[in-house]
Every structure is written in structure tokens, then in C-alpha cells.
Amino acid sequence: MKAFGKILGLGLLGLLLIIVALGFALTHLFDPNDYKDEIRQLARDKAHVELTLNGDIGWSLFPWLGLELHDASIATLTDPKAPFADLQMLGLSVRVLPLLRREVQMSDVRVEGLNLTLARDEHGHGNWEDIGKPLPAENGTTPGTPAPATGEQPAPTPERSNERAVKLDIDSLTVNNARVQYTDAQTGKSYSAESIQLSTGPVHEGSNISLKASAFLSASQPNIKARTELAGDLRFDRKLKRYNFEDMRLSGETSGEPLAGKTLSFSAQGQLLVDMGANVASWTGLKLSANQLRALGELNLRDLDKTPQLSGGLSIAQFDLRAFLDGIGQTLPPTTDPAALTKLELVSRLQGSSNALALEDLAVKLDDTSFAGRVAIEDFAKQAIRVQLKGDKFNADRYLPAKSEEAKGATAARQAEVEQQQASVVAGSTPLPNAPTQVAWSNDKLLPVDRLRALDLQADLAFNALTLDQLPITDAQLQVTGQGGLVTLRTLRGGLYDGSFEAKGTVDVRPAVPQVGINTKINRVPVEHFIKPHGKDQTPPVKGLLTLTSDLTASGNSQKALVDTLNGSAHFTINDGVLVNANLEQQLCQAIATLNRKTLSGEPRGKDTPFQELRGSLVVRNGVASNPDLKARIPGLTVNGHGDLDLRVLGMDYNIGVVVEGDQRAMPDPACQVNERYVGIEVPLRCRGPLELGAKACRLDQNGLGKVAAKLAGDRLKDKIDEKLGEKVSPELKDALKGLFKR
């Protein structure tokens, strides 16, 4: 027995020596380069690819099955002269004996100068789709395969579910200077990854595999380039279909046309998991940075085999939004407040899919305003934006576009004109002011027409306090929709100085010239807040509680164009008001003194005129508002008026009549003592000049006052005729005599 064991051992040793000797002989006496043509034909017949071997083939047989290729390329059989892959060198070796146990134990795998060219032609066919496919035979079937009988279906290939998976064991993988190029003839776009470097540690299934990679990426439309670096520990389990990328770190820089010459530095970190068995994926411990932006969060995907659904959370630390956008080539236009849009931070829960994203439970702080609610893009392709937010306080004036130099110059010119008139006007004692000539409005563009035409928006906003055009609105509500170039203001309402207001309207940018329509309702709001004098120390010309309804239309894309084309109507009432720096009593006193042929002996005691009500209507045509029915009720007086408000230059031209109703209160000057002769007499005034002058621009209408004096003289003569003639003449003769003085 012992002898048998010895003989068996010697036999196995001899067999091993024979195998080693055979391997040595094969690798030293047999040169595979002599069989390149046979190898190419074998690749055509078995692998259905066109293999070109321009360099030498090196190999070993035992105990490592080694292969080393130089200057090789692979093409499809349909286009053998256009290789989709070529490389400078491929070196690998596999242990022979573990292959018998379905284990792949490899030493270092090296790939040098790999160049992969992928292309899609004008018909949408990709060159990679023919890899491994044999050329079709003349009858349309694969060579060597009998065509199925008529009416028969090819038998399905049985699944090999009982096959044991191959076990991988690789010492390392190294790829140097690789390149991948993709072009699409249908779209004209191209993408590339160049200078690809990849290195790994030992590759064992179920164990962490250290990985480092870098590449230069580029795209043609738009032209953009990026440098990227990737590192982390990869672990996979093919049986469970689980893939982990732990401590993943991605960083790099990008530049190109979208960034307008600027550079974006970015980085991302976290733990990645893909579980194809459960059809879920996650990115936990997420850390993102892009220039000065910093974010934390986590992302989760489910239903990977259907329509993937996204969930998770995101937190962005406070950063300077204006500086960030400027750093990526998206410079914001100047705003009225240069400090606007410099502070932004948010926290939100994420929900989404491949074509939609929603920021739920959103808490965002923009500058000094805190918002809460929801912002969503329901359709990326249509840019369908949905907004539901509530803010604590928001000053919209800060975010309005800053005035251009041209607009500033126009404003300064008009202000100078008004100040010149104010300096030269003293109410009642100087000539009637001239009508203003300087345009009060800017030619700066107001509406981003192209963006509005593409807008799909539904917004519902609420504010505890909203400042708009310097008006403090409380409990403000704003609802606006936009679709296909038609923006509809469904409502803008709120409280205003213990009153209220509401506005509705549309902006239609579908035509070449934008069309605007607006309806407003204002209820008992102090009118002085709508009339803003230029100087800080100036007071508004009128005070009181304004009630207004209006229906207006206009066209254009600037303040000036909108005012020049303004048309519509309005009705207004001002209650419990005051005409500031307008002593109508003094104007009336001056008129009566003139009629009495007396001179006023003192200065007026008051400078303002209170009134109970002032009302009227406006008909607006091309920027000029005509008021045919101005009425005012003042104790002891009735004021009637008609005239125009030229909104283009903010000027007025009014004829006003002051009627004495018979109030017999003591007057400040005996020269204007009211008696029964003046009751019912309408004293005419003319008002002309900038709106800012208010009643300072009103003067006695001397022509109209002459007609009043003539009427009073005629009435006095008629009284004397009655007194002298008495009953001595017939009534017909009296009427004939009185008629002489009616002209």
C-alpha cells in the first residue's frame, strides 16, 4: 500500500512536470503572432466582431493564463473599417486552476490608451447596436441557423437559473489615458470624456474596493467643459443586486457658454446605495457645494423598474444669491435696493419624479422676509411652476428694476420744472402757472416678454405685510396665473391705511405690443398716500378718504408707453378732506372785494380749506383724463368744476366755480362781507400747472369775474326799475327793459 502511494505520488509529480514542460514549450516554441489571421477569423465567426491586431500578442499559459495586446481595434461586421474601440495596450492574466472552480483570479489588469467612439446616425441607429451581431444572410437569417418553418415561432431559449455565478478576484484595475466620444447626427450634439484615469484596489465581491477616477468632460451644444475627480469605496453583491459606494467624493470645476466665461467649482459627498432587487436607491449624508453655496440633505428613489419616484430633504445654508448667480454667468439686473437678493437660505422636503420636482413644507428666508409653503415644477418640459407661499413681511419695491440713467434724467428734469414753479408761485398773488412740459414717465422696459410668453404659472401668495409702491398693505393676498403669454391677476387685495383695496387685471404679451387691462376698487384710503411730492418737506395738495373704482386699458412695455395709451373710466369720491394750502375762503373774499370795489385790509387767518365731500368721474383717452362733473361740498360753499388731468406730464387744467350758499358767518375782512346779493353767485377760478402745486395753481378767472360783475350790475338795475316804476307800467314793458341787461 505504501509502495502504491509512492508510485502514485511520483506519477502525479511526473504529470505536473510534463504540464509545466508543455506550458514552457507552448509559450516559447509557439508564437500566437503567426496566427493573427486565424484569430481574426475566429473573432468574426464566434464573437461577430472585426478584430484588427496591428501590434504584437504576448501570452503565458501556466500557472497564469496571460494575454497582452498592443495596438488593437474592434469594429462591427456591418462597418469593419470604422472601429468603435481601439487601444494601445491591454494586459491581463488569469490563474488557470481556479477557472475549473468557476473562479476568476486575476492579477493586475491594465488598459492603456483606450478610445471608444460611439455614434448615432441620421436615422437614429447607433454603431454599438451591431456589436456581436453576425451579418445577415441573403434570406435574412443568421448564417448557420435554419430559418423557422412557416407559421412556426422560434423556440424560446431556456433560462439557466441553476448556473453558479462566477466569482471575481482581481488584484487591481488600472486604466490610463482613455477616451469616450459620443456624437448624434440627428441633433448635432456631441459629448466626450477624455484623459480618463481609473485605479482600484483589490476587487473582491462583498468587500470594499477603493476607487479613484478622473476625467475631462465636454459637450458641444452648449459648449461646456468640466474637470472631475471621483473617489470612494465600492462594494457590490451580484446575487442580491446591491451596490454601495461609501464615502463617495466627487469634485471638480466646469466652465463654458452657459457660465459666460465664469468657473463653477463643485463637490458632492455621501453614501450611495442601489438595490436593484428592491428597486430602490438612496444618497444619504449628502453634502453639496457650488462656489459659495453649501447644502445638506438626503435623496431616496423607489420604483426604479417603473417610473422612479424621488423623496428626501434639503437644507441650504445662507448665501449671497446675487454673487452666486454672477459667479456662474447669470448676472441679475440692478434692483432699486442694491442689497436685495443677497441673503437666501431654505429648508424643504423633496418630492419628485423624472419630470417634476416639488419643495414641500418649504421654509425659506429671502433677505428680511420669511416664507413658508410649497414651490413645485409640475412639468420640466413645459416649465409649469406652482407656488403657494405665505410671508411675514415683504417690501416689493426693493426688487423693482433700478432706473436707467435716461429715466433718472427725465425724473430730474421734471422735478426741476416743478420746483421752479413752486418757487415762483404764491397762491392768489402771482400769474397763473404754466402747464408742465416735461414727461413724467420712463422709457425703460418693464416686462420680460420672452419669459412671460413661455410662462406656465399658478401662484398663490399671502403676506402679513406687503409694501408695494411705498404703500403698506396688510393681510395682502395675491393670486396670479400665466399660460401661453397671457398673465392674469386674479386678485390683489388687502388692507391699506384703515381702508381696503382690490385689483384685477391681465397682461397679454402674445401680440407684438403687450396689452394691459386693470380694474381697481379702493375704499376709504387716505388720498395723500397716492400723491407723492418730490421733496421730503413738501405736503400733498389734498387730503381725505378716497373711494375709487376704475376700468383701464393700455398697451406697451414702458411707463411712458402705457400712460400714452391709457384709456378707460373711473369714478372717485373723497370724504372728510382738506385742500392743503388752498384758502378758498380767501379766494372768494378777494372776488367779493373786487365786486364791491374794495381792498382787503388783512391777511387770511387760515391756509387750508376743509371739505365734506369731493367727487366726480374721469374719462381717460390716450393719457388725458377729462373730468366733466367735479363737485365739492364745503360749509357755506358749493364747488363745481370741469377740466383735464394730463397724466403724461402730471399736469392739470381746470375751471372751477365757487357758489356762495348763504352762510352768514363772519368773514375775516369787511371788504368781502357777504350779503344776500352774492348768494347763489358762482365765483370762477382757473387752475393750471403741475399736480404737485394743488390749489396753489388756482387763480381768479378775471374774464369770468367780469361776467359775474355785469350780471350783478344788471340785477341791481332791474331792482331799481321795479322800485321806480312800481305799478305804473305794464309787466310786458318791465320785462322788455330787464331783458336789455341779460346779456
pLDDT digits (tens, 9 = 90+) for 477-522: 999 999 989 999 999 999 999 899 999 999 999 999 999 999 999 9
Q: State how far the Cα of 281 lies from the Cα of 279, in Å rounded to an integer.
A: 7
- In sequence order, what are the residues at sequence separation of 6 or more whose Cβ sits closer than 8 angstroms to the Cβ of residue 636? 660, 661, 662, 663, 665
What mean pLDDT is predicted for residues 461-470? 93
Tell me what pLDDT residue 738 has.
44
| pLDDT over 50 at 537, yes or no | yes
Q: State how far the Cα of 72 lies from the Cα of 631, in Å rounded to an integer.
A: 98
pLDDT tens digits, 402-449: 877 777 777 777 777 777 776 776 655 577 788 888 887 888 888 889
Q: State how far the Cα of 294 lies from the Cα of 213, in Å rounded to an integer.
A: 24
Q: State how far the Cα of 18 lies from the Cα of 346, in Å rounded to an integer.
A: 75
CB 658 within 8 A of CB 588: yes
Q: State how far the Cα of 231 lies from the Cα of 247, in Å rounded to an integer.
A: 8
Closest CA to 50 of 21, 23, 72, 19: 72
What pTM was estimated for this model as a whole? Answer: 0.76
Inter-axis angle of helices 731-739 and 702-725, to 10 degrees?
Answer: 160
> At 77, phi and psi to the nearest 5?
-70, -25
The burial of 589, by beta-carbon neighbours within 10 Å (0-12 exposed, 13-18 middle, 19 or more buried), is given as buried
Of the ranges 82-96, 267-281, 546-560, 614-628, which one carries the lowest mean pLDDT score? Answer: 82-96
Q: State how far the Cα of 296 lies from the Cα of 300, in Å rounded to an integer.
A: 14
How far are the Cα atoms of 192, 263, 283, 341, 448 from residue 324, in angstroms, in the given order? Answer: 28, 11, 25, 10, 22
Tell me what pLDDT residue 715 has.
53
CA 518 to chain centroid, in Å, comes to 23
Q: What are the cell numbers at 135? A: 451579418
What mean pLDDT is predicted for residues 681-702? 78
Long-range Cβ contacts of 99-104 (<8 Å, 24+ apart): 99/65, 102/164, 102/165, 102/166, 102/167, 103/166, 103/167, 103/169, 104/166, 104/167, 104/168, 104/169, 104/170
